[in-house]
Amino acid sequence: MSAAGPKLPIVDSPKYNISVFGLEKLHSFDSKKYGRIFSHLTTVSKLFTHSQTHTPPTPTRNDLLKIHTPAYMDSLNDRMVLTRILEVPVVAMLPMFVSRSRILEPMLAGTGGTILAAELAMKHGWAMNLGGGYHHASGNQGSGFCVYADWALAITNVFEKFPAVKRVLYVDLDAHQGNGVARSFMEDDRVHILDAYNPHIFPADTYAKTAITYAMSLSTATLKTPTPYLSLLRTTLSHAIESSKPDLICYNAGTDCLEGDRLGAMMLTDEAVVERDEIVWRMALEKGVPVVMALSGGYQMNNAGVIARSIENLVQKLGLFDRMRHDSGIGESADSGFNG
């Protein structure tokens, strides 16, 4: 669609992919899906070029300490802590310099991507990070392959940089409960949470569940068939937007709800996931609410293709590239850092 052109509110980095000499294959997560998504969008569908995307800066320790405790940050130098968070036993055998360069640095890049994308959404009316979505991490812990609390950091950064933002609606449609985000904002009534997850799988965090403002109750029918799921999503999301009146919608668009995913244990078809994303984006844009998306979980080799199809659909049906606005205070190039 576009061979060249201005910067788009799309954030990506070649650092997103996780590669540890092939050892990443021991985990069910497709750690290279980000590169495949980007390749499809730039070389197959040709929606945009690399030069039109934003490359995120790496968050500093001070940036991370806005959410994470010093004790937690220090604990990431312990191989056993990382092994527990990543759920890959072989990590315990890796030298820390390998884990830092091959695992933590990619996740830092993804975290920076979500922070930057949220800023860009406030500037342009929409944005997407082609990575990120580490929704199990909170201030003092990580789990479920999530080390850094990118959504909590992004939302906190938006509140700091955009005083006009009074309320944020966080929408989590990953198959797993977004407990890290909920734990990060337990005491903050500016953040409203809509979470639709399989209650029979990890993390089963009953404490975090109390922070969910709008719960999508997934019965057997809504877990196993697309029609009731999408109908419930329309109803619940519409109510959430009308009730919370958000100034920003943060959308965690996990695709582990796809049929065949043994960890998500849901049965949404490819077409249903594409429609799901369109429902969220269309409702946000029609209400005039900026929306930012990160990709979160997805554990099969077909996830990248479904995500790319969904983004193509959003661009084509919703005319995203024609919806860009330029009415906020951050500059055209936000790549220089979060505090500059």
Token digits of residue 288: 């005039």
DSSP state of 41: I
Instruction: Using alpha carbons only, give the angle 172, 255, 115 rounded to the nearest 5 degrees.
Output: 55
Quick check: is 136 in a domain? yes
Segment 57-114, tens digit of pLDDT: 999 999 999 999 999 999 999 999 999 998 878 787 888 888 898 899 999 999 999 9
Tell me if 311 is assigned to some domain. yes
| Domain-located, residue 2 | no
The answer to whether 169 and 246 have CB atoms below 8 angstroms apart is: yes
Whether the pLDDT of residue 299 is over 60: the answer is yes
Q: 3-class DSSP state for residue 313?
A: helix
Q: How many domains does the chain have?
A: 1
Give the pair of three-digit tokens for residue 65. 């300490």
Residue 1 lies in a domain: no
Is residue 207 exposed (0-12), middle (13-18) or buried (19+ Cβ within 10 Å)?
exposed
- Express each pLDDT in 119-139 by its tens digit: 999 999 999 999 999 999 999
Q: Which domain does 15 fall in, by range?
A: 10-322
Amino acid 324: pLDDT = 84
pLDDT of residue 1: 45
Place of tokens 């220090």: 74
What percent of the chain has a predicted confidence (pLDDT) above 90?
Answer: 80
pLDDT tens for residues 247-292? 999 999 999 999 999 899 999 999 999 999 999 999 999 999 999 9
- Is 326 in the active site? no
Which pLDDT score, from 0 to 100, does residue 93 have? 83
In a domain, 329, yes or no: no
In a domain, 224, yes or no: yes
**What is the reported pLDDT for 88?**
79
pTM of the model: 0.93
Task: Quote the pLDDT of residue 98.
Answer: 87
Long-range CB contacts (within 8 A, 24+) of 231-237: 232/196, 233/173, 233/196, 233/276, 233/279, 233/280, 234/279, 234/283, 236/194, 236/196, 237/171, 237/194, 237/279, 237/280, 237/283
Q: Is the pLDDT confidence value at 38 over 60?
A: yes
Which of 27, 135, 136, 176 is catalytic? The answer is: 136
For residue 50, count other CB atoms closer than 10 A to its CB: 10
3 has a pLDDT exceeding 50: no
CATH code for the domain in which residue 26 is found:
3.40.800.20
Residue 128 maps to a domain: yes
Confidence of residue 30 (pLDDT cuts 50, 70, 90): low
Please give the helix or strand (H or E) that residue 285 lies within, else none. Answer: helix 270-286
| Spatial distance between the Cα atoms of 309 and 324, rounded to a whole number of angstroms | 21
**Domain for residue 42, yes or no?**
yes
Give the whole-angstrom CA distance, residue 243 versus residue 96.
47
